[in-house]
Structure 1
Amino acid sequence: MKTTPNLLIQNAKPVDSNHDGSETVDIRIKDGVISEISSGLEKEDGEEVFDAGGAYVSGGWMDMHVHFREPGYEHKETVETGCRSAMFGGFTEVACMPNTKPAIHTRDVVEFIRNKSEEELVDVHPIGCVTKERKGESIAEMADMKEGGAVAFSDDGDPVYNSQVMRVALQYSSMLGLPIINHEEDLDLSRPGHMHEGEVSARLGLDGTPGIAEEAMIARDILLAGFTGGHIHVAHISTRKAVDLVRQAKKEGVNVTTEVCPHHFDLTDDEIEKRHFDTNVKMHPPLRTQDDVDAMVEGLADGTIDVICTDHAPHSIEEKEVEFIYAPNGITGLDTAWSISVKRLLEPGVLSLQQLLEKLVNNPRQILNLEIPEIKEGAAANLTIFNTDEKWTYTKDEVRSKSKNSPYIGETMTGRALAVYNKNRFAVNALKN
């Protein structure tokens, strides 16, 4: 991607902790740094111009939970195609999960991913494994991976099942100042579930995964975090009782944070029946009940849930176009996260624009100890330009991921990212239809 060190963004409304989006300004970027914020700035020699037309601008969004599949599963996604999807979705930074082949359990794999993303606009931060080869038996080389650029540790796709291993992992990671991100699932309670265990699964005759399979593991991890003083980050939370557990733990001073995916505050397990076993509504944790969806919204509103992430999980057409019970879990999510958040959180007034952006800009970076981008003179330019009202249709042509396993294809969306700037690079997200 070509560099654009000098850019003039005209007619944009900044939104961050110091700007509420009510003021329209011009932003001049020189050599990748915000050099001037004012009104009526005119183009200078060697400068590209982008007229935001009154759209908003914030610090670049971050998704702290994606699967870019490389190395090992490049037929699903690569670092390059994943970054393409992230840019279209408005994200300038992501953290990628380690269930690759080989797994991200050594420094050389961490550095491989970082090297692959050097020429991309999107910063890709690898998350290293908690255990060697994600087998759950012995702790991976955490300190060495941190030196190579790992920002957290997780065996995502599988939980760290052994409690003693998790205890040691929390103790060790706390010395490194990085969180453990656990896939919260009691496997003895969850398997062989293919959807949420409840009325719909009983009606459809499918083995279900009960909410307690998630909640039991979260309860264990909260206790271990309190015991060790380590930082546990609950991945893709999905049940009301799980949110209650995190809420209470935070009140008690436990170092626990959590995230939620847009599909878990938007869709319910009814979709499996409505869509006649469409495998694009099969994910893990599974879609839950309306009460659980309501709890996700409540948790976002009261601050219990810190982050909105996507769990972007691309799979090939051949893998998804099979019987429901044989299909892999997961959907893509980078392209549509903003629009779903607008529909479910911003338009109903659950969160203000500033509050919503905290879940996408500030909080994920705070959890991962990364620099938070600022809209001020002298700051490195890391920006997302977006709107909240544009209507557009998410067709297969608009899918920027290498895979197309999204339940939102064909739907009308509201709000989208118009452009992103990071690392001296600028990308405009023009629609294809």
Structure 2
Amino acid sequence: MSFTNQKNFSSTPRRLALRGDLLDFTAAPRWGDTDSPAVRFDRDHWLLIEGGRIVGRQAHEPDASWVRKDHAGQLVLPGFIDTHVHCPQLEVIGSYGTELLDWLERYTFPSECAFADPARSRTGAEVFLDALLASGTTSAVVFATVHKTSAEALFEGAAARGMRLITGKVLMDRHAPDGLRDDVVHAERECTDLIQRFHGHDRLAYAVTVRFAPTSTPEQLAMAGALCRADASLYMQTHVAENRAEVAWVARLFPEARSYLDVYERVGLVHERAVLAHGIWLDETDRRLIAERGAQVAHSPSSNLFLGSGLFDWPSANSSGFNVSLASDVGGGTSLNLPRNMLDAYKIQALRGERLTAWTALHAATRGAAEALQLGGEIGGLSVGQTADICVWDWASGPVAEVRDAAARELHERVFAWMTLADERNLAACYVAGRQRV
């Protein structure tokens, strides 16, 4: 697999037509439905792209004014949206033997300290963003580090690739090692500068980024809430109720709060642009609050399994009416590839006695994530007017998958087998705003 030369983007045709099996969603599929009217599948169709946006989809071959890319017999999906992932944690992925709090102390924090160096931040961002694209992810909500330069590197790297990226410098002013703590005044100044320089420019957006409640003082949490109130277009990302020991620690640190989520609610951090990672150990009151505020939970299945954090109750989230998107949470997660995370999400629900369909899993990584981020008009689908963030996948890679694919009797069975067996080796091409990047 190779990446296109960044200097050759000007050669991208203005009018591009892609042929393949087009699959996306017109609505949210119901839980458990394998035959869903929300699924839009056009076998052997052409997707027309002009000026980086989708302008049509049709069965007949377009005329000679279009540059045609023939992906016949391959699966064409919207680019995936990873709603929770850590740029600096690639080098600690697959580290042995810890739960969440030990993981942070032993692996995560030492890795993040290196990102104080601007050159290290730039190198890390380049590798990370290319790895996202090579996994079929074209948009992401990303944790940088506490260092301003780490957020700058991500913004600049994403702009160079034309990607939709939401990130921000991490806020931590306690319970973290030297080199990873800031203070309220300095952090606010750096956030304000980053917001002014990057938020709303190109396809970039700023997220007020609270690591998690234990690593911020009440004063810093209040400052983060004030930033959100001052500009309702800002996102907010943090962790909540991931691990039982973490939940107990939060209760000791914030005895006045009703719950872990209530720590954030009290300072105005739970709102319609809030991305709350994990949310395993929420109660019914928490779930109702997330729904009322229009926030979302970024479900991180491979991380939850790998760190032994718990089994996310997706049906209860649906019953409560809040948005669930899909996330890799690398490096606690074990792969940037979202189909591999979909498979882990299926396993989690199976352990709970439920069955996750391919449609619900795929929707959470495409249209569902886009709508939860208030970006449904731009990303997450293959509809006219949307940005042409598109990935082309082989239905099967290798003899086992080929045998399974050939035996599929109907669409959900085929897509579920793809979801179960596919990884980044299935990715044939990745287009960002109509430009081929992989």
TM-score, length basis structure 2: 0.64
Equivalent residue for 1:182, pick from 221, 232, 238:
238
Equivalent residue for 1:36, pick from 31, 39, 56:
56
Amino acid at match of 1:312: V
Q: Give matches, 1:19-418, under 5 Å.
A: 20-24=39-43, 25-42=45-62, 44=64, 47-58=67-78, 60-69=79-88, 72=117, 74=120, 78-99=124-145, 103-104=147-148, 110-120=151-161, 122-130=163-171, 134-135=181-182, 137-138=184-185, 139-141=187-189, 142-148=191-197, 149=199, 150-156=205-211, 159-177=214-232, 178-184=234-240, 209=245, 212-213=248-249, 220=259, 222-231=261-270, 233=274, 235-237=276-278, 239=280, 241-242=281-282, 244=284, 246-250=286-290, 253-254=292-293, 256-264=295-303, 267=305, 281=306, 286-288=307-309, 292-293=310-311, 295-299=312-316, 302=319, 304=322, 306-313=324-331, 330-335=332-337, 337-342=338-343, 344-345=345-346, 350-370=355-375, 372-373=378-379, 374-386=381-393, 414-416=421-423, 417-418=427-428
Structure-1 residue corresponding to 2:435:
425
Structure-2 residue corresponding to 1:15:
24
Cα distance, 1:85 vs structure 2: 1.6
Q: Deviations over 1:143-187 (max 9, x none)?
A: 43222224211142774432243134213312211243233489x
How far apart are the structure 2 equivalents of 1:128 and 1:9? 38
How far apart are the structure 2 equivalents of 1:117 and 1:242? 33
Cα separation, partners in 2 of 1:263 and 1:215, compared to 1, 3 Å: farther
Cα distance, 1:90 vs structure 2: 1.3
CA RMSD of aligned residues (A): 4.0
Cα distance, 1:91 vs structure 2: 0.6
8 Å contact kept, 1:301–1:351? no
How far apart are the structure 2 equivalents of 1:387 and 1:304? 33
Cα distance, 1:422 vs structure 2: 1.0
Q: Deviations over 1:19-53 (max 9, x none)?
A: 61333221122332223310021463671413141
Cα separation, partners in 2 of 1:365 and 1:170, compared to 1, 3 Å: farther
> 5+ unaligned residues in a row in structure 1: which ranges?
187-195, 198-208, 268-280, 314-329, 394-411, 429-433
Cα separation, partners in 2 of 1:168 and 1:75, compared to 1, 3 Å: closer
8 Å contact kept, 2:235–2:275? no
Q: Deviations over 1:179-230 (max 9, x none)?
A: 43233489xxxxxxxxx78xxxxxxxxxxx4653367779555335544544
Cα separation, partners in 2 of 1:229 and 1:305, compared to 1, 3 Å: same
Amino acid at match of 1:339: R
How far apart are the structure 1 equivalents of 2:345 and 2:432? 28
How far apart are the structure 1 equivalents of 2:226 and 2:247? 28
How far apart are the structure 2 equivalents of 1:356 and 1:310? 13
Q: Deviations over 1:327-374 (max 9, x none)?
A: xxx355213x31230464399784444433342234544555545324
Cα distance, 1:131 vs structure 2: 6.0
SS of alignment partner, residue 41 of structure 1: coil
How far apart are the structure 2 equivalents of 1:159 and 1:223? 13
Amino acid at match of 2:335: G
The count of residues paired between Structure 1 and Structure 2 equals 344
How far apart are the structure 1 equivalents of 2:162 and 2:308? 32
How far apart are the structure 2 equivalents of 1:215 and 1:415? 41
Cα distance, 1:15 vs structure 2: 0.9
8 Å contact kept, 1:92–1:123? yes
How far apart are the structure 1 equivalents of 2:247 and 2:261? 17
8 Å contact kept, 1:392–1:414? no
Q: Mean Cα displacement is larger for which, 128-137 or 2-11?
A: 128-137
SS of alignment partner, residue 308 of structure 2: coil
Larger helix fraction of residues? 2
TM-score, length basis structure 1: 0.65
- Percent of counterpart pairs with the same letter? 13
> 5+ unaligned residues in a row in structure 2: which ranges?
28-37, 89-114, 174-179, 200-204, 401-418
Q: Deviations over 1:269-326 (max 9, x none)?
A: xxxxxxxxxxxx4xxxx323xxx32x3444565454622111223xxxxxxxxxxxxx
How far apart are the structure 1 equivalents of 2:303 and 2:318? 15
Cα separation, partners in 2 of 1:234 and 1:16, compared to 1, 3 Å: closer
How far apart are the structure 1 equivalents of 2:183 and 2:137? 31
